[in-house]
Amino acid sequence: MKKLIAMLCMAAALAACDKGPAKQSFINTDLTGLSYAEKLSLNDHTGKPVTLDTYKGKVLVVFFGYTQCPDVCPTTMAEMAGVMKELGPRADQVQVLFITLDPQRDTRELLAQYVPTFDKRFVGLYGDAAQTAAVAKEFKVIYNKVEGKTPDSYTIEHTAGSYVFDKNGKIRLFLRHGQGPGPIAHDLKLLLS
């Protein structure tokens, strides 16, 4: 019996040695294998039509917001600029897209001024109201116009998070708002390796 126990202990020890390095896992919400956010058809802030296929070969980060957002949108964009700095030269393999939920006020020209101020590589996307609604529905983004004191002073409540796609154009992650660049950079490095 002692011999059997000794053999089992030795087998367990050898099995533990054979596992190799531990696989790193994502910090953010893993969406791998889910079947939504598969289509996107809008124009970029230079006026060119784009789809998800436009950015195949890069890790893609997609955020929905609007330029007059008082808090979530500018902090998310600043956070992503911090991520790009943390990635260093690997940042050129990442594309950040800002999709406006406010096509009424966010013109191509305004997006062209606003989005690249955070990082010159960032791209703003826009469409008409119907295109915007279709893309938001495809990504399961909830948004709602909240009237202001004047017709043009409304705000938009919206999903506060970003979606990440791998280099093959498959959805992989949902990034929570306000976590800082570190956890995001960690997960993007995994997708880049």
Supply the pTM of this predicted model: 0.86
pLDDT the model gives residue 112:
98
- Judged against a pLDDT cut of 60, whether residue 26 lies above it is answered with yes
Beta strands at 94-100 and 59-65: parallel, antiparallel or unpaired: parallel
- Side-chain-facing half-sphere of 1: CA atoms under 13 Å: 0
Mean pLDDT lowest among 22-31, 98-107, 129-138, 164-173: 22-31
User: What is the spatial distance between Cα 137 and Cα 36, in angstroms, rounded to a whole number?
Assistant: 9
Of 53, 26, 65, 39, the closest CA to residue 143 belongs to 65
The answer to the question of whether 73 is labelled as a binding residue is yes
pLDDT tens per residue, range 121-156: 999 999 999 999 999 999 999 999 999 898 888 999
Task: Domain 37-192: give its CATH code.
Answer: 3.40.30.10
Using DSSP, state whether 189 is helix, strand or coil. Answer: helix
The answer to the question of whether 69 is labelled as a binding residue is yes
pLDDT tens per residue, range 45-80: 999 999 999 999 999 999 999 999 999 999 999 999
Structural contact between residues 61 and 104, judged by C-beta atoms closer than 8 angstroms: no
The answer to the question of whether 158 is labelled as a binding residue is yes
Structural contact between residues 38 and 138, judged by C-beta atoms closer than 8 angstroms: yes
**How many other CB atoms are there within 10 angstroms of residue 77's CB atom?**
22
